[in-house]
Amino acid sequence: LWVESLFAELQALLNGETHLDVVFKGVESDFMDVQDAATKARESGMEINLNWHPVRATEDRLDEINALMEEAKLNPQFNDYIVNNEQVRNDFREAFNNDFNVYVVATMSSGKSTLINAMLGQDLLPAANEATTATIAQIIDDKTTGENFAARRFSSSGEEESLPEINADTLKEWNQLTDTQEIELRGNIVAMQPRDHVRLVLTDTPGPNNSQ
């Protein structure tokens, strides 16, 4: 959010200096953002010499921490501390959560479900010229499921219904049930290539002008 204005801010801070030697220490993806910002700064007349000192990727460091945690669990006292401390378990689970959440939000009947169906490679979510999504539908990318999508329906009273394979007709029925609070689908989002350490979670929402 800030990197685009980095060199303009540095120029202002350094009393209009136009020649900067910059050393960036960090991961490659962040350095690429700095490179883009430097290119724009050069177009405005600045001279930027940019050098990169790479650091190990976050994923590598997390894998190492995870391995250390597994090793520590071999100690009975430490293992008991983890098992019996809910806060520790939750913090650790959250730290290693690799879900990348994308929310599809637009007014009713604007094509949200059609867009997601295109990403799924099949007409699974109900799509029509009417308010067809009355509930939150969460789609978790799982490359191990083949072409089928497993589904779970959660009611407002906390009840759960699950199917190992869902079709469009059943999904439409679930969506029309008045006590349906959320629907979770799990399957291969074919439009997305597999990524190490990242799992896409798409959420189809009711339109912001929906009465709910």
Q: What is the pLDDT of residues 111-158, one digit of tens each?
A: 888 888 999 999 888 765 444 445 778 899 998 888 889 999 998 888
pLDDT beyond 90 at 18 = yes
Task: Please indicate, yes or no, whether residues 67 and 104 belong to a single structural domain of this protein.
Answer: no
Task: Please indicate, yes or no, whether residues 198 and 175 belong to a single structural domain of this protein.
Answer: yes
Residue 152: inside a domain: yes
pLDDT beyond 50 at 68 = yes
Residue 125: inside a domain: yes
Q: Which domain holds residue 133?
A: 99-204
Confidence (pLDDT) at 212: 55
Residues 21, 51: Cα–Cα separation, whole Å: 8
Number of domains the chain contains: 3
The answer to whether the predicted template modeling score (pTM) of the entire model surpasses 0.95 is: no
Task: Please indicate, yes or no, whether residues 17 and 107 belong to a single structural domain of this protein.
Answer: no
Residues 51, 26: Cα–Cα separation, whole Å: 11
Confidence (pLDDT) at 22: 94
Comparing 130 with 181, which gets the higher pLDDT? 181
Comparing 177 with 17, which gets the higher pLDDT? 17
Task: Please indicate, yes or no, whether residues 107 and 23 belong to a single structural domain of this protein.
Answer: no
| Nearest alpha carbon to residue 8 among 51, 37, 30 | 37
Task: Please indicate, yes or no, whether residues 19 and 42 belong to a single structural domain of this protein.
Answer: yes
Residue 122: inside a domain: yes
Task: Please indicate, yes or no, whether residues 168 and 121 belong to a single structural domain of this protein.
Answer: yes
Rounded to 10 degrees, the C-alpha dihedral 138/143/147/150 comes to: -40
Are 204 and 120 a contacting pair, CB within 8 Å? no
Task: Please indicate, yes or no, whether residues 132 and 50 belong to a single structural domain of this protein.
Answer: no
Read off the pLDDT of each residue in 33-38 and give the average, rounded to a whole number: 96
Residue 210: inside a domain: no
